[in-house]
Chain A
Amino acid sequence: MSSKYIERFSTSERVLHWIVTASFFTLLLSGLGLYSRLFNGYFNLFGGGQNAILVHKIGGIIFFLSSIYMYFNHQKDVSTFDQDDKEWVDKRGGYLSREASHFNIGKYNPGQKLFALYVAAATTILGVTGIFIWLPALFPRWIVQISLLTHGLMFVGSIMFVIVHVYLATIGNPGTIDAMLYGDVKRGWAKKHHPKWYKETTGENT
């Protein structure tokens, strides 16, 4: 109770997140050469384009399953928005001002919820279009063509979101990365960023 830290993510939640992380970056590296000939050199990491495609397929299956599983694990927390969330959205979470800001936020803020919902949607779409691209002979030509386009588009959205995600979870909000590494966050961090969640977890007032 009186420890300096409180638990934010359990061991299994952290391991799952690391599986998603590792498979995401595997997909990124193995897919870059397929995205454009400009990135052809990335194929060498896997010993050629054909191997990169194989790794991309295996990585895709792992990412799809783990990412979807992660979404359902957090579905309750990330798919509902309340009045406090609205205030956060109205003030852009205080991220566009140097002024100190305080929002009565639960376990996740609306930005995190939006990210989770995007990732869940993107995982589904990337997975389905990936199957069409994988087996182009089994599906009508136009479906494969639309899939190539959509797969690229959802990837672009994903990588841009991930850049923001990594920034906010590291140097943008010092102390946040602890939740991914050890699972425990400082009490002060929790009170500042997620006061409602802190109150629910500890029973203390902030």
Chain B
Amino acid sequence: MADTINQATRKGFLVDTSRCIGCRSCQVACKQWNKLPADKTSNKGTFENPRDLTSALFNRIKFIENETSGAVSWLFLNERCMQCGDAGCMKVCPSPGALYRTRDGIVAYNKEKCISCKYCVSACPFNIPRYDTNDKVSKCNLCQSRIEGGIAPACAKACPTGSLKFGKRSELIAKATAAKKALYGENNLNGLGVVYALEGSPEKYGLPSSPSIPMSIFLWKDVIKPLGILGFWGSIGAMLLHYVTIGPKKVDDEETGKGDGHE
């Protein structure tokens, strides 16, 4: 079940944060297309709303407030599943077909095959998967049905400034590189499906500067798992080898007989 991805035909987003005006059309369009209910939210003295992704909120605009000499400025970040080329969630998912790679390179999911183990939550470098009220995984799948039908995801369609651009990933990257944009996610994790042109360091946006699958997850799946299987068969082999080379410790009849009286 190796996760293979065709970099040449892969589709994705280029998110140009300099064009984002924080209007949240993407949030609304996503809710509408995916028929997601509204989440209860609360006023915490910021324009950011809601404050976190939920099982009914697949993308949102993160408002990063910066105060410099009394004036407030914002950075906006469209937060969503990054569609990693090497996806931690897919690496750990024990249920084949619950999380899977589409021909467009998207990490899609099938709730009916989700077994509610929540391993994907632990393996995601970006803290994206959420579990719904039925205890099934939910996240952005780039409007899988729309892109398979040849149209852009709802959020990209709704974006009024062209901050969210959908298309062939390689072409989007080539264009952004030609425009001398500093890109985030071009090569990390075998390339993110959602590549950002940021106005500053990734840390300013709360993104890991070099995202990777957590070390513990790597050790678990790529070291302990294969070594464990080897250890299992090795132990069985060692016992068989012991039996035919050194052999069992038999109790001699002589010893058994000694001291025996009645039954």
Contact = CB atoms under 8 A, between A and B. Distances in A.
Contacts of A49: 94-95, 115, 117
Nearest to A155: B228
Interface residues of A, number: 52
A149 B216 contact: yes
B200 interface: no
A41 B253 CA distance: 47
Contact of A144 (B122, B232, B235): B122
Interface of A is mostly: helix
Contacts of A141: 121-122, 127
- Among B115, B243, B249, B252, max chain A CB count under 10 A is at B249
Interface in B237-263: 239, 242-243, 246-253, 255-263
Interface in A132-178: 136-137, 141-142, 144-146, 148-149, 152-153, 155-156, 159-160, 163-164, 167, 171-175
A3 B262 CA distance: 6
B258 A188 contact: yes
Given A152-B228, A156-B228, A172-B249, A167 B116 contact: no
Interface in A32-72: 33-38, 40, 43, 48-50, 52-53
A192 interface: yes
Nearest to B228: A156
Given A173-B249, A187-B256, A4 B263 contact: yes
Given A2-B262, A53-B115, A141-B127, A188 B246 contact: no
A189 B251 contact: yes
Contacts of B225: 35-36, 152
A33 B224 contact: no
Contacts of A152: 220, 224-225, 228
B96 A40 contact: yes
B232 A174 contact: no
Q: How large is the interface on B (under 10, 10 to 19, 20 to 34, 35 or more residues)?
A: 35 or more
B224 A149 contact: yes
B118 interface: yes
Interface in B79-107: 92-96
Contact of A172 (B217, B227, B232, B242): B242
A160 B263 contact: no
A80 interface: no
Contacts of A2: 260-262
B1 interface: yes
Nearest to B135: A50
B206 interface: no
A148 B217 contact: yes
A204 interface: yes
B212 to A, nearest CB: 13
A98 B228 contact: no
A3 B231 CA distance: 43
Given A145-B217, A186-B251, A163 B94 contact: no
Contacts of A81: none
Nearest to A157: B231
9 contacts: A37-B93, A53-B115, A98-B247, A137-B121, A137-B131, A149-B217, A156-B224, A160-B234, A172-B239
Interface of A: 2-4, 33-38, 40, 43, 48-50, 52-53, 94-98, 136-137, 141-142, 144-146, 148-149, 152-153, 155-156, 159-160, 163-164, 167, 171-175, 186-189, 191-193, 204
Report the 5 A-B pairs with minimum CB-CB distance, sorted nearest first: A188-B256, A49-B115, A2-B261, A156-B228, A167-B239
